[in-house]
């Protein structure tokens, strides 16, 4: 089962490197259509000093073509995503259309700021849970799927999160195949 989704992974200064690389790598192993777009011209420096060159600048894209967004966390990457109205507008559109949004680590606060988490069960990094005032925060789950919204706790859950996204988009068999190949 191949997903028809076109997935945007935005890259903002201060992103969490493990989360970005793991998510994009696993989604591409599943042969999904993923675009890494920089919120600023690249290369972009991550939270731990690793520079990544985005494939394209966000300003060069037609955001209406994307049917899903996956937000890596990290600081100040999450803060930078929270300030980007293009990202917030895309999240709101996807939510209105019942499409998928996903966020890991601190990035669920971006979904919160976009106004899409009211009454939604989520998880996040412990450092931002108090900011998710409209959501139903589950501190024990490593990955939470609530309808079209998926969240996860942080760098240590990135592989589990990415495989859950593959299961959601391509089926459990594809996720299990990738997990086996990666020796998870």
Dihedral sign from CA coordinates of 170, 27, 10, 105: positive
CA distances to 4, 16, 23, 132 from 73, rounded to whole Å, are 25, 6, 11, 15
C-alpha dihedral (77, 82, 87, 89), degrees to nearest 10: 180
Q: Is 105 a catalytic residue?
A: yes
Residues forming a β-bridge with 44: 52
Annotated active-site residue in 105, 114, 167, 170: 105
Q: Which residues are catalytic?
A: 105
């Amino acid at each position: 089962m191949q997903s028809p989704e076109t997935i945007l992974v935005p890259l903002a200064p201060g992103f969490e490197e493990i989360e970005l690389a793991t998510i994009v790598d696993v989604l591409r192993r599943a042969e999904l259509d993923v675009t890494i777009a920089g919120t600023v011209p690249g290369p972009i420096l991550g939270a731990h000093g690793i520079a990544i060159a985005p494939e394209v600048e966000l300003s060069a894209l037609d955001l209406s073509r994307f049917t899903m967004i996956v937000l890596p966390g990290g600081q100040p990457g999450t803060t930078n995503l929270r300030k980007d109205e293009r990202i917030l507008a895309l999240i709101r559109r996807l939510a209105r259309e019942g499409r998928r949004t996903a966020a890991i680590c601190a990035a669920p606060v971006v979904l919160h700021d976009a106004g899409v988490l009211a009454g939604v069960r989520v998880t996040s990094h412990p450092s931002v849970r108090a900011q998710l005032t409209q959501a139903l925060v589950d501190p024990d789950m490593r990955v939470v799927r609530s309808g079209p919204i998926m969240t996860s706790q942080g760098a240590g859950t990135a592989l589990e999160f990415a495989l859950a996204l593959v299961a959601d988009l391509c089926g459990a068999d594809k996720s299990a195949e990738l997990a086996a190949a990666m020796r998870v």
